[in-house]
A = this chain, B = another copy of it.
């Protein structure tokens, strides 16, 4: 882990620009985000985790029409290569069944195709939501993904986890153990798989639907991957190195209560609340 925390500094990049480096296998981390009271806390934790990971490229996509100053400031501070994009939900998909994150990820797909089609860049695509918890070891597990790799995810609703089922005999993935199987061929969590960049680019029809609960399954089907091709990671799916954590929602800062402080304009409170409101 020491070597990781140092080795990231070998990669050279221009803030906001794609990296082209034939020597490295980059992990393209796609993080959808949106403005809310817990955003700064969640994004800060994730950004600090990523400072320990060498050779990553962070694609942060806001569900917004204008980019947020606090997200841009955080990206600049973090000192990892990044793209800061906007992927607002279209007016046709604001309902609950459409869910969050899809418009952001579709925008990231577009950006990857624009910048890496017809290149030989080695890379792996991973969907990293901003409130999950990542053990840095998971990134080294996924870096060798040839087509699609999979691994267990902790803290998934009623089961406590979601995992591919791996045959001891063949070492192959033969099914899925997940609280929600439904009509899914690939019953996995968004944080439970990674995709080879060149494989993704070669599958021109790859996309993600606006359909809560089926995003992962439809995406993997659109890639044309078969179950026998899946690569189990994390010691044949016996280790949990990523958790589907959710930060408890919090209240918005209450400006009205600030004003109850006697002579509040003569204190730190106006500046503090202004700084807070920029973030939420």
Contacts and interface: CB of A to CB of B under 8 A. Distances in A.
Contact of A177 (B38, B49, B258): B258
A78 B165 CA distance: 30
Contact of A40 (B1, B38, B154, B275): B154
A238 interface: yes
Contacts of A48: 48-49, 52, 135-136
A144 interface: no
- Tallying the copies of this chain within the complex gives 2
B160 A41 contact: no
A68 interface: no
A35 interface: no
Given A6-B5, A152-B272, A275-B238, A45 B257 contact: no
A14 to B, nearest CB: 17
A160 B236 contact: no
Given A51-B5, A52-B48, A169-B266, A253 B161 contact: yes
A5 to B, nearest CB: 5
Contacts of A6: 5-6
A190 interface: no
* Interface size class of chain A, counting residues whose CB lies under 8 Å from the partner chain: 35 or more
Nearest to A238: B271
Nearest to A242: B41
Contacts of A238: 268, 271-272, 275
A275 B245 contact: no
Interface string A240-277: 10010111101111100110010000111101100110
Nearest to A43: B133
A160 B276 contact: yes
The interface centre, meaning the residue of A77, A135, A175, A236 with most chain B CB atoms within 10 A of its CB, is: A135
Given A38-B243, A45-B49, A240-B276, 10 more contacts: A41-B154, A44-B243, A48-B48, A48-B52, A158-B251, A160-B252, A160-B280, A163-B268, A168-B266, A175-B261
